[in-house]
Amino acid sequence: MPAPTREQLAPAPPATGDLNLMDALAQLTFAIQGSLAKRAAHHDLSLIQTRLLGVLRDRQPTMQELARLLDLDKSSVTGLIDRAELRRLVRRVPSSDDRRSVRVKLTSRGRRVIRQVVTAFRLDIDVATASLTSSDKDNLRSLTTRVITAHTAHRQD
Amino acid sequence: MPAPTREQLAPAPPATGDLNLMDALAQLTFAIQGSLAKRAAHHDLSLIQTRLLGVLRDRQPTMQELARLLDLDKSSVTGLIDRAELRRLVRRVPSSDDRRSVRVKLTSRGRRVIRQVVTAFRLDIDVATASLTSSDKDNLRSLTTRVITAHTAHRQD
DNA sequence: TATTGTTATACTCTATAACTATA
DNA sequence: TATAGTTATAGAGTATAACAATA
């Protein structure tokens, strides 16, 4: 008879035994996002605010572009940026060419905060992968990248 | 000179090039959770409601246990279960031994819905991993499981 | 007319503090 | 006293629809 299905989509705690690929990936995402959320919470940041700051590190997108990048409605982005701007993490600057649009920029404070969150998060990842050999790690990095690439290509919006 | 840091913590869209392990894992989690969220949304479910149903497939936990499993305050769980119960996805049943506590059970409707979400989600994972060989997949499954195990062990609550 | 962004509104999700009932 | 759960409250995050300003 088939082995009973266990722990599918479930969070980490019991996390025992043999997982199929889907369950392993699902559990991994909950575990990693949980780590990131905790690190962000130390700076009073939600996951979405953290993601916002992360995205802004190498971009100055318009509100519309931000909506697409974060997969949110533009009205949701308005509120997100309102709250981030109140905390001096980001700034709205008028767009030079189109007077309807604004660009969103990280402030130096925002950049400092996201750096701290990323640094702490990197430590969590280091700990969680500490038992892997260098070639295991590179293998995981490579496989993960391939999955991301395929996922992006098949993205149905 | 060092290569410029790109796409860290960012969502999938551009997702190009060489990612370090942390960035690869972070991007993967956003991509996979995005897939799951979209599949859940087809059934008008949020990610946390989906996770709730997933957890309940092989458990009938008390509210307190559920709070620990989902890493939420007990008062948050009250609201979560209230809304799920209104939709006939779960049911509160009195605990047999302790008259203070209740156990939460999946209804047949809830079980049907979570099955459908998982089935659709599995297809997304299949597509995203379609270019991997069988041994690649098993390798990814194994490495991922090891990371989850280590992460769980180091979990600081 | 179409696009960019905001506002008004309603709902989900979350935590904190105070409460009730039971242990 | 301690624990299980709910309630009251406040705020973040989200989408839909309607709106103003600009293209």
Task: Going residue by residue through chain A, which has 157 residues, state the pLDDT in tens, using 9 for 90 and above.
Answer: 333 333 445 444 444 467 899 999 999 999 999 999 999 999 999 999 999 999 999 999 999 999 999 999 999 999 999 999 999 999 999 999 999 999 999 999 999 999 999 999 999 999 999 999 999 999 999 999 999 999 999 876 5
Q: What is the reported pLDDT for A155?
A: 78
CB–CB of A140 and B145 under 8 A?
no
How is residue A59 written in tokens? 């971009």
- A93 close contact with B: CB closer than 8 A: no
Q: Considering chain B, what is the average pLDDT of its residues?
A: 90
- Vertex A105 angle, CA A102 and A110, to 5°: 145
How far apart CA B157 and CA B147 sit, in angstroms, is: 18
Nearest CA in chain A to B20: A141
How far apart CA B63 and CA B61 sit, in angstroms, is: 7
Determine the distance between B83 (CA) and D4 (C1') in angstroms. 20
Q: What is the reported pLDDT for B19?
A: 85
pTM over 0.85, yes/no: yes
C-beta contacts of A71-75 below 8 A and 24+ residues apart? A71/B11, A71/B34
Residue at A132: amino acid letter: L
Contacts of residue B130 in chain A, CB cutoff 8 Å?
150
Q: What is the reported pLDDT for B157?
A: 57
Question: Which residues on adjacent β-strands are paired with residue B50?
Answer: none
